Amino acid sequence: MKQTPKLSLMLLFFCSMSLFSQFNVNNLSLETGYGYTGAIEPYYKGYKSNFSGMNHFNVGIRYMLNEKIGAKVSYKLDHFVNDPGGDLGITYSTIGVSGIYNIGKQFGLTYWTRDRVGVNAHVDAGVAFAYMIGQNDFEKVGVVGIGITPMVNLSNDFALTMDFTHNFTMKQHYGFDGQLVNADYEPTSGGFYNFSFGLIYYLGENRYHSDWY
């Protein structure tokens, strides 16, 4: 009789594992995007350029811990360049991590669209290596962002994305024009945004990804 509770727990465990195995899904994906980067501040407003344009690229790998929560490691490249001219500006090479939340599943969007349309929200944190154009110098800038990523399911392997992210910069000494903001080298904060289109490639041996299952 003393073995009965243990035996019951073991049977329950194996039954649960068997049931779970029938619903295995892929959790890993590769993602890339290209689009517009827009400088908000700081930069000298007297320039004819606003140092914005189609100069954003990103690539990353995402892992979903479950159907709603995941994490992502990414690399982003943003050029803020004087147009016309191109001799002033700054380039951000950012390495970061993101927390992902599938709000499409939270509010039933994937259900109502029969797994055709979904939405992920994300919070980002990273370090940007900021290189001033035409200068042999760079600085490290902290970048924190918040964004939303609508997704369109194309197949079991691919999905299209559209992303909008608002980024906040911390301890920034040089503006998006590549010029020193304060003569006394006091750091400041700033911001920029990204609007991009991209592609998701789902990895794994299972038929479905957790984004859609």
Give the CA angle between residues 143, 70, 79 to the nearest 5°: 30
Alpha-carbon span 77 to 194, nearest angstrom = 11
Using CA atoms, how far apart are residues 36 and 80, in angstroms rounded to an integer? Answer: 10
pLDDT at residue 213, as a whole number: 82
Cα–Cα separations (whole angstroms), residue 153 to 75, 164, 208, 212: 24, 18, 11, 8
State the pLDDT at residue 59.
98
Show the low-confidence residues of the chain (pLDDT under 50).
Answer: 1-2, 11, 13-22
pTM to 2 decimals? 0.85
Residues 6+ apart with CB under 8 A from 46: none
What pLDDT, on the 0 to 100 scale, is given for residue 198?
98
Would you state the pLDDT for residue 16?
45
Q: Rounded distance, CA 98 to CA 53, Å?
A: 24
Instruction: Could you list the beta-strand ranges (E) of 135-187.
Output: 138-153, 158-172
- Give the model confidence (pLDDT) of 144-200 as tens digits: 999 999 999 999 999 999 999 999 999 999 999 999 999 899 999 999 999 999 999
H helix runs in 22-108, sequence order: 103-106
